[in-house]
A and B are shown apart, each in its own frame.
Chain A
Amino acid sequence: MSISNTFPITEDLIAAHGLKPDEYQRILDLIGREPSFTELGIFSAMWNEHCSYKSSKKWLKTLPTTGPRVLQGPGENAGVVDIGDGDCVVFKMESHNHPSYIEPYQGAATGVGGILRDVFTMGARPIAAMNALRFGAPDHPKTRHLVSGVVAGVGGYGNSFGVPTVGGEVEFDARYNGNCLVNAFAAGIAKTDGIFLSEAKGVGLPVVYLGAKTGRDGVGGATMASAEFDESIEEKRPTVQVGDPFTEKCLLEACLELMQTGAVIAIQDMGAAGLTCSAVEMGAKGDLGIELDLDKVPVREERMSAYEMMLSESQERMLMVLEPSKEEVAKAIFVKWGLDFAIVGKTTDDLRFRVLHQGEEVANLPIKELGDEAPEYDREWRELGGLSPLATSDVEEPDDYAQALLDLLGSPNNASRRWVWEQYDTLIQGNSLQIPGGDAGVVRVDGHATKALAFSSDVTPRYVEANPFEGGKQAVAECWRNLTATGAEPLAATDNLNFGNPERPEIMGQLVMAIQGIGEACRALDFPIVSGNVSLYNETNGEAILPTPTIGGVGLIPDWGHMARIGGAKAGDAVILIGGDGSHLGQSAWMRDCLQRAEGAPPPVDLMVERRNGDFIRSAIRNDLVTSCHDISSGGLAIALAEMAMASDLGLKLDLSDCQGPAHALLFGEDQARYVITVPADLAAYVTASAEGAGVPFRKLGTVAGSSLHIEGILSVPLGALRNAHESWFPSFMDTPAALAAE
């Protein structure tokens, strides 16, 4: 019995597909007739915000995406950057916010799976992953459930697949109460002459389906991810996919083996909008038509309709154009790995996207227009920011600085994330040189004696909220700084732009200005954006998340023998502040977390200063002048010093009396472009003279000594007390009986 493709196309049905009336009119104009039910589904999949970037495209085009090392910018599955010696790094970051809120374990797991597939589709073996996670207030009833599920999901997929998770972020804010963020990053290494793209070539060639079978999971996922949430959210659970990391691991090995044989002409993973998006992208990029016969698609459920097959987001699947002479060898590889290999269609020269099912043509659409003619909006936006800097005199100093430091160090947003990253395999592949807990994750490059790559993911959403332009700049600058703090040369970045509903001018203003800030910083720091993802409509019942443009950066360390870590200081070393004294308390972590005040402009980012100070730090590290290094970010100098002392397991004996300004601004101010380094005592004079010569502000703060963080006349806290405050919040938050009761 055949399955019907003849649902009447009603206004309700069109609206349920997330298509606005004018968008539907565009479809009618384009094809000159009413679309079939399956065709409506295909348009909905291709033209939703998630797949078409219709609100952001205009602004994304303004970002710098090229550079001497950039081999592939945005538009492919991932960006590609040359790291020399015939190798390149392939990387991207992508959100899985909506699914993770609905079903945290599977949402996060498939987010990791999707980004890994983006990387190995291009011919790269994944070598590192990161995750930037944002949750609601700790006391919100859903938060523990989401943290526990998301972290387990990230670990469950990444650990089984076998990629080390070397970095990331975890942050709490009430603005994420109804909409958590899961931004997954992956990077892989490939040969520069072994990169595979999605552009189909050649007419009449077989289109092959690879990997897992197609089921009904995730039907309509991309459309769901392009809408706001309301109370009906529970009904959306079936739109979340289910991950199978075992199949993905087999698919990785099979694809990399296959790519060695010369069988692959073009390849594209099936992510959002599965078969539809992958087939259209391959054809449209290659100026070719594609014909698919759905009766040949491997399925794991009976009586699936064409509509369901075209919109299924079943995981661990790929589509490729096959070199016909290699069919047998290609098939044998997939049989060996226990995966499906089915010829499901062919390339054509008529630029049509034709879908056949049970002998009937269920779709026949112009393939170029499906992708290229998606609506593009120039949405109204409003200029934001304009807050004045907060005067330090408007902020009272704490009575007890030691207690203030311990409170901050043990607060939800500044406490150690060990509880999280110990659930991730950080060591697999045997190349991890720096795992989470420092400034950036670092992994060795296999097959090279000295080379390593550094990875960091950063954004400070409260800054972006207060001033999207400065906040966008700061996200890039902090990422660049974290890479620099290991001694790496920042190469390029990926951006994952998480915002609310772009149809509201103030949200669109956040998006536009943040992109402008990101662009300015990337240009000034020669740190191009080579891939990325936009996630809009992160709102629940009309309340938007904090604007969160996450930046994932990659840096190159030519010789990891000349690298810096957050720990490793020796007793007697000099402690030197690079950059000016702390002065800027507006939007600081200390004011937010200890005074419950979110006021004033965020710290401005002077990109020239950022570059000058960073270049000095990198050169000092590479010349082996530095025994440890840490950047100063949220929590200011005080948190940076405490983290360094704990990481080296040594005290610091410091005196700030030469510094300018009140102690709370010196300790907790979040002025940018600053680092703390420790330097062997006999090199301190040389280092400070070099800083002076380079025009870099510096201040010798004291020495590595004793077993307390001691700041003369201000505070003195034993390491044990620091560690207790820093390490205890997360486990006690997650492992209390209340946490169990909530699940």
Chain B
Amino acid sequence: MKAAVVLLPGLNRDRDMIAALTKISGQAPQTVWQTESAIDDDVDLIVIPGGFSYGDYLRCGAIAARMPVMQAVREKAERGTRVIGVCNGFQILLEAGLLPGALMRNASLKFVCREVRLEVANADTAFTRGYSQGQIIRCPVAHHDGNYFAEADTLKRIEDGGQVAFRYTAETNPNGSVNNIAGIVNEAGNVLGMMPHPENLIESAHGGADGRALFEAALGLVDA
């Protein structure tokens, strides 16, 4: 499979993401600059990495969601291409309307960088099938605005529809997210947004490789 990483000014975990995808797939992903309005047909995984696009000076992800490249991402997503947004990437996908809900400031009102535990809430998605249902994995977080919220009807819909991919374990929820939600997929199941950083836990130097299975699944390296 061929992967592409979206680049926007202010994103800063792009190099982490490119390194992770390169190490796991054996080939460097394509990069797509914010002003490009088309993504190659043969790209089957698009990743929007973390950071502070446009400084997050407006609502996180709000400016990025309106750049030409996001129209290209939307078109690819509608045709079934897999899309992952991590951290600021998740915020951008929400602002772009590709995923439901919103991310508010952490309940602590502070930036938080630490390792949390995630429960795989739905192991039957294109991104999580390398894990088992209910498996608890380690994963770092690093964000200021990761407090997931959706109003009651939406929340019920995503819960009932199995759209919650990852939950923080109750005792490690770092930001006050409703229902401990850490990551969700869209209804079609081809777009994933998550606050934690699986790309920072893929090799022994990171002290573990719990994040690796996510990329292996997304890249089609895990048997369906």
Binding site for B on A (CB under 8 A): 152, 155-156, 159-162, 244-247, 249-250, 253, 337-338, 421-431, 433, 444, 560
Residues in B with CB closer than 8 Å to A246 are 9-10, 52, 54-57
Task: Kindly list the 7 A-B residue pairs having the minimum CB-CB distance in the complex, ordered from nearest.
Answer: A162-B12, A246-B55, A430-B16, A160-B52, A425-B142, A425-B113, A246-B10
Task: Closest B residue to A148 by CB, please name it.
Answer: B110
B10 & A160 in contact (Cβ 8 Å cutoff): yes
Residues in A with CB closer than 8 Å to B140 are 427
Given contact pairs A250-B10, A422-B113, A423-B112, a sample of 10 additional A-B residue pairs in the complex whose CB atoms are under 8 Å apart: A160-B10, A246-B57, A249-B9, A337-B9, A424-B113, A425-B111, A427-B197, A427-B200, A428-B16, A430-B15
B12 & A428 in contact (Cβ 8 Å cutoff): yes
Q: A245-B55, A428-B16, A430-B20 are in contact. Are A422 and B10 (CB under 8 A)?
A: no
The smallest C-beta distance from B222 to any residue of chain A, in angstroms, reads 22
B114 & A422 in contact (Cβ 8 Å cutoff): yes
- Let me know if B206 is at the binding interface, CB within 8 A: yes
Residues in B with CB closer than 8 Å to A422 are 112-114
B12 contacts which of A160, A338, A433 (Cβ < 8 Å)?
A: A160
B13 & A338 in contact (Cβ 8 Å cutoff): no
B111 & A430 in contact (Cβ 8 Å cutoff): no
Q: Which of A159, A161, A244 has the largest count of B CB atoms less than 10 A from its CB?
A: A159
The smallest C-beta distance from A356 to any residue of chain B, in angstroms, reads 33
Residues in A with CB closer than 8 Å to B56 are 160, 246
Q: A246-B52, A424-B113, A425-B113 are in contact. Are A161 and B19 (CB under 8 A)?
A: no
Task: Closest B residue to A435 by CB, please name it.
Answer: B113
Task: Report the separation of the CA atoms of residues A253 and B140 in the bound assembly, to the nearest whole angstrom.
Answer: 26
29 intermolecular pairs with C-beta atoms under 8 Å apart:
A152-B111, A156-B111, A159-B52, A159-B111, A159-B113, A160-B10, A160-B12, A160-B52, A160-B56, A161-B12, A245-B55, A246-B52, A246-B55, A246-B57, A249-B12, A337-B9, A422-B113, A422-B114, A423-B110, A423-B111, A423-B112, A425-B111, A425-B142, A427-B113, A428-B13, A428-B16, A428-B200, A430-B16, A430-B199
Residues in B with CB closer than 8 Å to A560 are 205
Q: Which residues from 152 to 181 on chain B have a C-beta closer than 8 Å to any C-beta of chain A?
A: none
A429 & B15 in contact (Cβ 8 Å cutoff): yes
Q: A159-B142, A160-B56, A246-B54 are in contact. Are A152 and B15 (CB under 8 A)?
A: no
Residues in B with CB closer than 8 Å to A421 are 113
Task: Closest A residue to B203 by CB, please name it.
Answer: A430
Residues in A with CB closer than 8 Å to B57 are 246
Task: Report the separation of the CA atoms of residues A560 and B205 in the bound assembly, to the nearest whole angstrom.
Answer: 9
A433 & B205 in contact (Cβ 8 Å cutoff): yes
Q: Which residues from 186 to 224 on chain B have a C-beta closer than 8 Å to any C-beta of chain A?
A: 197, 199-200, 205-206
A431 contacts which of B51, B54, B205 (Cβ < 8 Å)?
A: B205
Residues in A with CB closer than 8 Å to B15 are 429-430
Task: Closest A residue to B12 by CB, please name it.
Answer: A162
B113 & A430 in contact (Cβ 8 Å cutoff): no
Residues in B with CB closer than 8 Å to A444 are 205
Q: A246-B57, A427-B140, A431-B205 are in contact. Are A155 and B111 (CB under 8 A)?
A: yes
A-contact bits for B19-38, CB 8 A (1 contact / 0 none): 11000000000000000000
Task: Report the separation of the CA atoms of residues A429 and B54 in the bound assembly, to the nearest whole angstrom.
Answer: 19
Size range of the interface on B? 20 to 34
The smallest C-beta distance from B106 to any residue of chain A, in angstroms, reads 10
Task: Closest A residue to B19 by CB, please name it.
Answer: A430
Q: A426-B113, A429-B16 are in contact. Are A250 and B205 (CB under 8 A)?
A: no
Task: Report the separation of the CA atoms of residues A246 and B206 in the bound assembly, to the nearest whole angstrom.
Answer: 27
The smallest C-beta distance from A550 to any residue of chain B, in angstroms, reads 24
Task: Report the separation of the CA atoms of residues A655 and B54 in the bound assembly, to the nearest whole angstrom.
Answer: 58
Task: Report the separation of the CA atoms of residues A431 and B15 in the bound assembly, to the nearest whole angstrom.
Answer: 11
Residues in B with CB closer than 8 Å to A250 are 9-10
Residues in A with CB closer than 8 Å to B13 are 162, 428
Task: Report the separation of the CA atoms of residues A560 and B12 in the bound assembly, to the nearest whole angstrom.
Answer: 25
Residues in B with CB closer than 8 Å to A338 are 9
The smallest C-beta distance from B88 to any residue of chain A, in angstroms, reads 10
Residues in A with CB closer than 8 Å to B113 are 159, 421-427
Residues in B with CB closer than 8 Å to A425 are 111, 113, 142
Task: Closest B residue to A125 by CB, please name it.
Answer: B15
Task: Report the separation of the CA atoms of residues A289 and B112 in the bound assembly, to the nearest whole angstrom.
Answer: 49
The smallest C-beta distance from A64 to any residue of chain B, in angstroms, reads 34
Task: Report the separation of the CA atoms of residues A430 and B113 in the bound assembly, to the nearest whole angstrom.
Answer: 13
Residues in A with CB closer than 8 Å to B199 are 430
B52 & A245 in contact (Cβ 8 Å cutoff): yes
Task: Closest B residue to A560 by CB, please name it.
Answer: B205
Task: Report the separation of the CA atoms of residues A507 and B113 in the bound assembly, to the nearest whole angstrom.
Answer: 40
The smallest C-beta distance from B166 to any residue of chain A, in angstroms, reads 18
Task: Closest B residue to A160 by CB, please name it.
Answer: B52
Residues in A with CB closer than 8 Å to B55 are 160, 244-247
Residues in A with CB closer than 8 Å to B200 are 427-428, 430
Residues in A with CB closer than 8 Å to B52 are 159-160, 245-246, 249
Residues in A with CB closer than 8 Å to B16 are 428-430
Task: Closest B residue to A735 by CB, please name it.
Answer: B108
The smallest C-beta distance from A553 to any residue of chain B, in angstroms, reads 22
Task: Report the separation of the CA atoms of residues A429 and B200 in the bound assembly, to the nearest whole angstrom.
Answer: 8
Residues in B with CB closer than 8 Å to A159 are 52, 111, 113, 142, 144
The smallest C-beta distance from A698 to any residue of chain B, in angstroms, reads 30
Q: A423-B110, A423-B113 are in contact. Are A430 and B206 (CB under 8 A)?
A: yes
The smallest C-beta distance from B17 to any residue of chain A, in angstroms, reads 9
Q: Which residues from 34 to 58 on chain B have a C-beta closer than 8 Å to any C-beta of chain A?
A: 51-52, 54-57
Task: Closest A residue to B144 by CB, please name it.
Answer: A159
B205 & A428 in contact (Cβ 8 Å cutoff): no
Residues in B with CB closer than 8 Å to A429 are 15-16
The smallest C-beta distance from B61 to any residue of chain A, in angstroms, reads 14
Q: A160-B56, A430-B200 are in contact. Are A249 and B142 (CB under 8 A)?
A: no
Task: Closest B residue to A452 by CB, please name it.
Answer: B205
Task: Report the separation of the CA atoms of residues A160 and B56 in the bound assembly, to the nearest whole angstrom.
Answer: 9
Residues in B with CB closer than 8 Å to A161 are 12
Task: Report the separation of the CA atoms of residues A430 and B57 in the bound assembly, to the nearest whole angstrom.
Answer: 25
Q: Which of A155, A337, A425, A560 has the largest count of B CB atoms less than 10 A from its CB?
A: A425
Task: Report the separation of the CA atoms of residues A430 and B9 in the bound assembly, to the nearest whole angstrom.
Answer: 19
Task: Report the separation of the CA atoms of residues A424 and B140 in the bound assembly, to the nearest whole angstrom.
Answer: 13
Residues in B with CB closer than 8 Å to A337 are 9
Q: A429-B16, A430-B206 are in contact. Are A249 and B10 (CB under 8 A)?
A: yes
